[in-house]
């Protein structure tokens, strides 16, 4: 579709330029031509509005449209591809279905669906940071949105040719970690995740919850946690050993959840290994007069001139803050893998933090600080009354997925599909992940949202399972090819001229553009809505057109190969939004 659009743009530009001898070069080139998809199929396949040339050509838009249409009609190359008609201020193009179908279908079946034309990010090195948990508790619903956004954006950028490096910072030190350590140290009696039969990150999280109860009963608990932090910073061997053990539990459990959702990283950074670098840089900046010291000894940056605030970078006792480690982490990242861009996928509540961080790095003289970007996403909540967790507020990621999986198992049983799907557990897990990911990505990243588990699982509607179901349906059709009329026919794309077939083919051919827009705006919801468009168009086709046993064997074979093209686009696009594909469902 992209090639066709650019062909017609070029010809429109040429026609316009011919109308005005005095037009400056460039004012009427291909890039300046706007192309639209008409709102109704009876208005053609492409539309070129002529409003914006009226001034330059000193002519009314309908007159311009008439002249451009005439010029396109006279051009044999154009005429072969389609018919141009002036309708008011527009030039509408009706593509020549039988000849264009050939071109479109063969491209779809030959190439990787992403297409060669889409290497617009080739040579770019993009680092994407996402998830970035703390080691005092398991992943929760908010992380699930973060994780799938980061993973999906990484896949989308890579599909456009970028070299992508996915990274995670594990915030593994600081007072919150010491709180779960303290509770365990005082009350744990050497228990382990194995001894109590609890997933290891949950085990650590339970001690963090316990700390809160402890500190309500005994106000000195807070001070003992601070003491533990000082011991940690001083390198006290016993404290370090305990910290290592609990971190290992937390990280192991968190990684198991990543495995489950299909999220992965090329590199993990640990705050405990980067915060000293941050501290060192802050002290260097202080020496160079970029930062200043308060009377109490703390180190600050004054960003009031930049419309920000004054911000503390080192505490009065010399200990680091959240931002201190981020300074060190960013520097290490650029040293390890010089990037053209680093995207931080982090919640919108940290907008201010990232503004300050980027400014600090810029003031420290790091050129690449200009290439840092905060992809700020909105909150995700559960509707009132759904799945309260232990603390009554956050829901653990694992619990949520388990819950979705249970619901999917029930659905499979109710529909009597246990024998058909094979491993019910396995299929239900993949349905759960598909439901979750699609629901979370379907909303634009910046918006806050509610996650409705029941709605996400609906088998008919704008959901992940619906897409999975469509994939399974086409897969099953392809398995039944032998013995059908389709196996006796020849693929002849010129037969795809009926409205439902034509619309489907055009929709498939728009995939590269949908992908490019999603990459440019870092917004996977555009792939989600594209997928929904494909599924709706396919349903109409499936409903209206017999496939395997169309009366003409050639037509059957051709429609089946169109279905195969749907499957290829579907598989690729589903993978971009992290929805597992299912052969049977
Ligand atoms: N662990 C942090 C938190 O839970 C998020 C880290 C985000 N990334 C960063 N580079 N600061 O709030």
Q: 223-276 pLDDT, tens per residue? A: 999 999 999 989 999 999 999 999 999 999 999 999 999 999 999 999 999 999
Distance CA 456, CA 408 (A): 11
Mean pLDDT of 463-481: 95
- Look at the block and give the residue holding tokens 């993978």: 575
CA of 133 to the centre of ligand 1 (A): 7
Mean pLDDT of 565-573: 95
- Range with the poorest average pLDDT among 392-406, 457-471, 541-555: 392-406
CA of 169 to the centre of ligand 1 (A): 7
The residue whose CA has the least distance to atom 10 of ligand 1 is 326
Inter-residue contact 360 to 353 (CB < 8 Å) = no
- pLDDT band at residue 408, thresholds of 50, 70 and 90? very high
- pLDDT band at residue 386, thresholds of 50, 70 and 90? low
The residue whose CA has the least distance to atom 5 of ligand 1 is 132
User: Which CATH superfamily includes the segment(s) 397-576?
Assistant: Isoleucyl-tRNA Synthetase; Domain 1 (1.10.730.10)
pLDDT of residue 24: 58
159, pLDDT greater than 90: yes
Label residues 201-229 b or e (16+ Cβ within 10 Å = b). Answer: bbbbbbbbbbbeebbeeeeebeebbeebb
Distance CA 402, CA 429 (A): 8
Residue 369: phi, psi to the nearest 5? -60, -25
Topology adopted by domain 130-381: Rossmann fold (3.40.50)
CA of 504 to the centre of ligand 1 (A): 43
Mutate to test the pocket of ligand 1, among 330, 350, 377 (most ligand atoms within 8 A of CB): 350
pLDDT of residue 305: 94
Distance CA 354, CA 371 (A): 13
**Residues with a CB atom less than 6 Å from ligand 1:** 129, 132-134, 169, 171, 326, 344, 346
CATH 3.30.1360.70 maps onto the chain at 2-95
Please write the tens of the pLDDT for every residue from 327-380: 999 999 999 999 999 999 999 999 999 999 999 999 999 999 999 999 999 999
The residue whose CA has the least distance to atom 8 of ligand 1 is 132
pLDDT of residue 28: 74
56, pLDDT greater than 90: no
CA of 364 to the centre of ligand 1 (A): 22
Mutate to test the pocket of ligand 1, among 136, 346, 360 (most ligand atoms within 8 A of CB): 346
Mutate to test the pocket of ligand 1, among 142, 167, 171 (most ligand atoms within 8 A of CB): 171
Which residues are within 8 A (CB) of 237 and not within 5 positions of it... i.e. 6 or more apart?
Answer: none
Averaged pLDDT of the chain: 93
pTM of the model: 0.94
As beta bridge partners, residue 320 has 314
How big is the CA angle at 530 (ends 408 and 112), to the nearest 5 degrees? 95
Mean pLDDT of 127-141: 96
Beta strands in 5-57 (DSSP E): 46-49
CATH 3.40.50.620 maps onto the chain at 130-381
Mutate to test the pocket of ligand 1, among 129, 130, 132 (most ligand atoms within 8 A of CB): 132
Residue 293: phi, psi to the nearest 5? -105, 135
Three-state SS for 338? coil
Mean pLDDT of 482-499: 93
Q: Domain 2-95 is of which CATH architecture?
A: 2-Layer Sandwich (3.30)
């Amino acid at each position: 579709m992209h090639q066709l659009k650019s062909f017609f743009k070029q010809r429109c530009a040429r026609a316009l330029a011919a109308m005005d001898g005095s037009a400056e070069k460039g004012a009427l080139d291909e890039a300046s031509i706007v192309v639209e998809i008409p709102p109704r199929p009876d208005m053609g396949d492409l539309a070129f509005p002529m409003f914006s040339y009226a001034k330059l050509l000193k002519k009314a838009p309908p007159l311009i449209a008439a002249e451009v249409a005439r010029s396109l009609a006279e051009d044999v190359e154009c005429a072969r591809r389609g018919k141009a008609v002036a309708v008011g201020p527009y030039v509408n193009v009706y593509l020549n279905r039988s000849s264009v179908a050939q071109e479109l279908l063969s491209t779809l079946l030959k190439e990787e669906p992403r297409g060669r034309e889409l290497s617009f990010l080739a040579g770019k090195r993009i680092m994407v940071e996402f998830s970035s948990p703390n080691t005092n508790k398991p992943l929760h619903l908010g992380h699930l949105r973060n994780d799938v956004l980061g993973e999906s954006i990484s896949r989308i950028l890579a599909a456009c040719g970028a070299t992508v490096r996915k990274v995670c910072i594990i915030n593994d030190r600081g007072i919150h970690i010491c709180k779960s350590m303290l509770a365990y140290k005082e009350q744990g009696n050497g228990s382990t995740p194995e001894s109590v039969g609890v997933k290891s990150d949950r085990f650590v999280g339970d001690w963090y919850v316990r700390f809160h109860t402890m500190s309500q009963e005994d106000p000195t608990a807070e001070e003992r946690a601070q003491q533990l932090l000082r011991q940690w910073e001083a390198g006290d061997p016993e404290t370090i050993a305990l910290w290592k053990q609990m971190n290992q539990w937390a990280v192991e459990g968190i990684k198991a959840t990543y495995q489950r959702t299909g999220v992965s990283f090329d590199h993990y950074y640990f705050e405990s290994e980067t915060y000293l670098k941050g501290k060192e840089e802050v002290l260097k900046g202080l020496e160079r007069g970029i930062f200043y010291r308060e009377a109490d000894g703390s180190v600050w940056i004054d960003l009031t001139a930049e419309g920000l605030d004054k911000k503390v970078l080192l505490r009065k006792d010399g200990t680091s803050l959240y931002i201190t480690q981020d300074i060190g982490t960013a520097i290490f990242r650029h040293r390890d893998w010089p990037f053209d861009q680093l995207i931080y996928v982090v919640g919108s509540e940290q907008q201010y933090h990232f503004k300050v961080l980027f400014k600090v790095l810029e003031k420290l003289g790091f050129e690449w600080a200009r290439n840092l970007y905060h992809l700020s996403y909105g909150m995700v909540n559960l509707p009132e009354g759904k799945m309260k967790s232990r603390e009554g507020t956050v829901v653990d990621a694992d619990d949520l997925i388990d819950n979705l999986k249970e619901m999917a198992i029930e659905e499979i049983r109710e529909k009597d599909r246990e024998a058909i799907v094979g491993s019910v557990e396995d299929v239900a897990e993949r349905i759960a992940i598909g439901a979750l990911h699609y629901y979370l990505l379907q909303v634009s990243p910046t918006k806050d949202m509610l996650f409705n588990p029941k709605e996400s699982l609906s088998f008919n509607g704008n959901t992940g399972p619906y897409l999975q179901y469509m994939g399974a349906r086409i897969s099953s059709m392809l398995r039944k090819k032998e013995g059908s009329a389709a196996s006796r026919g020849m693929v002849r794309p010129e037969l795809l001229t009926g409205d439902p077939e034509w619309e489907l083919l055009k929709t498939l051919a728009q995939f590269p553009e949908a992908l490019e827009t999603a990459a440019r705006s870092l917004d996977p919801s555009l792939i989600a809505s594209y997928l929904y468009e494909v599924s709706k168009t396919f349903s109409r086709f499936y409903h209206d057109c017999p496939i395997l046993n169309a009366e003409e064997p050639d037509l059957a074979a051709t429609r089946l190969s169109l279905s195969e093209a749907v499957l290829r686009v579907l598989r690729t696009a589903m993978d971009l939004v992290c929805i597992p594909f299912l052969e049977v469902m």
